[in-house]
Amino acid sequence: MFIIIPVSILTVLAILFGILIAIFSKKFEVPTDQMVEDVLSNLSGANCGACGYAGCEDFANALVTGEASLALCNATSKEGKLKIGELLGTDASILDTVVVCACNGGNLCEDKYSYQGYGDCKSVELLAGGRKTCPSGCIGMSTCVASCPSHAIEIIQGVAVVDNNKCTNCGVCILQCPKNIIKRIPADKYYYVACSTPLTGKNVRVNCKAGCIGCSICSKVCPEGAITMINNLPVIDYTKCTNCGICASKCPAKCILKRSGK
């Protein structure tokens, strides 16, 4: 009897408070913009922050008010962008891309010093521009790995490798890499130049066994004329590239790679 009374009182209070919460939540409910909800439902939902906004909902609000461009979001699929474009009456014909690391050095690139202690790529970069003798080489200290929300990057043989089957193309790793060597290529293209150094061939070989030596063979053998040499590096014109792979097979340095997933 003594137990039943307090239990009954608590039950009644719980019901009463539940009713009051329901009434007040309805009364003070903040009206949601249906357009924002529709836009949000077509975004990736990654909440990665690569667009510069706190999350997808914040970005959806900015899109609806015209404060943001849909091009800022790379995690959303092309289909989702097209639907958002229809909703907002804007052009959403944005090329799908995938992420690659434009470096193939890693353990094949010489070190300037042996780094000991805690740190990631950003902290190591502060010490003489990083531990690699190549000024553009991947430091390999996992800043991109730690920042990737989809766990799509791992360090293999000292260099960052992106798993395109896991990558959501959010771009967080691109923003975090202090060497700016994580880049995007069109999603329908397979090959990319895995080197970013502007050094000449002789100086490249001193630093890295896997770096581009600027020999121009790839440019000469490309049947579509899709490769030109700029600052000692081959640059692929992806509007001309047909994915034939001849450039990769003929590259003596083996620094033109086929991306994962293809």
Task: Give domain limits for the chain.
Answer: 1-30, 34-88, 97-258
Does the pLDDT value for residue 214 go beyond 70? yes
Does the pLDDT value for residue 163 go beyond 90? yes
pLDDT at 6: 65
Does the pLDDT value for residue 55 go beyond 70? yes
68-120 residue pLDDT tens: 888 888 888 888 888 988 888 877 666 788 999 999 999 999 999 988 777 89
Over range 8-26, report the average pLDDT. 69
Cα separation, 182 vs 85, whole angstroms:
28
Over range 47-61, report the average pLDDT. 88
Cα separation, 228 vs 236, whole angstroms:
7
Least confident among 203-207, 215-219, 223-227: 203-207
The three-state secondary structure class of 81 is helix
Does the pLDDT value for residue 231 go beyond 60? yes
Percent of the chain with pLDDT over 70: 89
Q: According to the CATH classification, is domain 34-88 in 1.10.15.40?
A: yes
Cα separation, 142 vs 159, whole angstroms:
9
If 0-12 CB within 10 Å is exposed, 13-18 middle and 19+ buried, where does residue 219 land? middle
> Bridge partners of 162?
153
Q: According to the CATH classification, is domain 97-258 in 1.20.120.330?
A: no
**E strands, the chain, in order:** 97-101, 153-156, 159-162, 182-186, 191-193, 227-230, 233-236, 256-258
| pTM for the full predicted model | 0.76
Q: Which helix (H) or strand (E) holds 207?
A: helix 201-207
Q: Which residue reads 């009051």 in tokens? A: 20
pLDDT at 30: 47
Cα separation, 155 vs 162, whole angstroms:
9
pLDDT range class, residue 260, cuts 50, 70, 90: confident
> Count of residues for the chain?
262
130-142 residue pLDDT tens: 999 999 999 999 9
Cα separation, 209 vs 105, whole angstroms:
7
pLDDT range class, residue 9, cuts 50, 70, 90: low
pLDDT at 210: 94
pLDDT at 159: 97
Cα separation, 168 vs 146, whole angstroms:
15
Q: Which residue reads 């967080």 in tokens? A: 172
Q: What is the mean pLDDT of the chain?
A: 88
Return the structure tokens found at 71.
Answer: 């091009």
